[in-house]
């Protein structure tokens, strides 16, 4: 079992819809979780970090963490074609090293 | 402020040659990470430096790969006797402390012919 699992997709949503990206993790002791966005041919860029159970909102993005279910999600409201990218979930592991999922590819269709 | 920088941006080398890839982290960041990403694949962890501690080398794929970080700042990833399967984008990231948000450099695209 991978430490961080994501659906590879592709996930396709129409412009203006809500995109929901999901991630599960195996390390129950993990305290920090991150979402990164990676455009094709570019390096990953940080979107959100979340450390506590519940929701964290930043503009059109909402991260949700459920430690009991070992589940992290990212919601993108009012999806735009510019949101089309691969989204990487990561968890902080022991001694500071983070483990990344393989990413979910999102396509927002105009 | 300046972000993470990497050089060269592209490197083409012949099979069997040695290559050095450089990473300049964000000033003040104590943690530095190297990853490899093959086309269409996820991030493969290679090595992690934190302050003056011994690096976590658990992701290095073979003894042809090594890395050092001088003065707690600049890092060099060295690949000896390159093979075609080493072709990938090599990404460097830094974070303020262990486990904090990572900020990635633009990557070095390595092609071994």
- Expressed in angstroms, the distance from the first to the final Cα of chain A is 36
Interface of B with A in 60-89 (CB under 8 A): none
Q: In whole angstroms, what is the distance from residue B44 CA to residue A19 CA?
A: 26
Contact present, B105 and B23 (Cβ < 8 Å): yes
Give B-chain residues touching A2 at CB under 8 angstroms: none
Q: In whole angstroms, what is the distance from residue A99 CA to residue A8 CA?
A: 16
CB proximity list for A3: less than 8 A, separation 6 or greater: A25, A26, A27, A91, A93, A99
- Range B88-112 average pLDDT: 95
Tens digits of residue pLDDT in A11-40? 999 999 999 999 999 988 888 999 999 999
Tens digits of residue pLDDT in A61-88? 999 999 999 999 999 999 999 999 999 9
Q: Which residue has the higher pLDDT, A48 or A31?
A: A48
Give A-chain residues touching B99 at CB under 8 angstroms: 32, 92-93, 96-98
Q: In whole angstroms, what is the distance from residue B55 CA to residue B68 CA?
A: 9
For residue B1, what pLDDT is reported? Answer: 58
For residue B4, what pLDDT is reported? Answer: 97
With DSSP H G I counted as helix, E B as strand and the rest as coil, what are the percentages for chain A, rounded to 5? 5, 55, 40
A97/B101 CB distance under 8 A: no
Tens digits of residue pLDDT in B8-61? 999 999 999 999 999 999 999 999 999 999 988 889 999 999 988 889 999 999
Give B-chain residues touching A91 at CB under 8 angstroms: none
Question: What is the number of alpha carbons within 13 Å of residue A14 lying toward its C-beta?
Answer: 0
A8 pLDDT more than 80: no
Q: Which residue has the tokens 């991978």?
A: A2
pLDDT band, residue A89 (cuts 50/70/90)? very high
A93 pLDDT more than 80: no
B93 pLDDT more than 70: yes
Q: Which residue has the higher pLDDT, B113 or A96?
A: B113
B102 touches chain A (CB under 8 A): yes
B105/A98 CB distance under 8 A: no
């Amino acid at each position: 079992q991978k430490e961080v699992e994501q659906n590879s997709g592709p996930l396709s949503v129409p412009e203006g819809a809500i995109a929901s990206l999901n991630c599960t993790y195996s390390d129950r002791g993990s305290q920090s979780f991150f979402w990164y966005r990676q455009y094709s041919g570019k390096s990953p860029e940080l979107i959100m970090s979340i450390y506590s159970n519940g929701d964290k909102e930043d503009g059109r993005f909402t991260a949700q963490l459920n430690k009991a279910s070992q589940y992290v999600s990212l919601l993108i409201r009012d999806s735009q074609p510019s949101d089309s990218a691969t989204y990487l979930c990561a968890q902080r592991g022991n001694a500071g090293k983070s483990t990344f999922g393989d990413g979910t590819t999102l396509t927002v269709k105009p | 402020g300046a972000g993470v920088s990497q050089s060269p941006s592209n490197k083409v080398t012949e099979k069997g040659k040695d290559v050095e890839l450089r990473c300049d982290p964000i000033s003040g960041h104590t943690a530095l990470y190297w990853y490899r990403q093959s086309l269409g694949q996820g991030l493969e962890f290679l090595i992690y430096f934190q302050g003056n501690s011994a690096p976590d080398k658990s992701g290095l794929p073979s003894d042809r790969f090594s890395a050092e970080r001088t003065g707690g700042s600049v890092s060099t990833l060295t690949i000896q006797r390159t093979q075609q399967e080493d072709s990938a984008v090599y990404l460097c990231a830094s974070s303020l402390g262990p486990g904090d948000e990572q900020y990635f450099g633009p990557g070095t695209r390595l092609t071994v012919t």
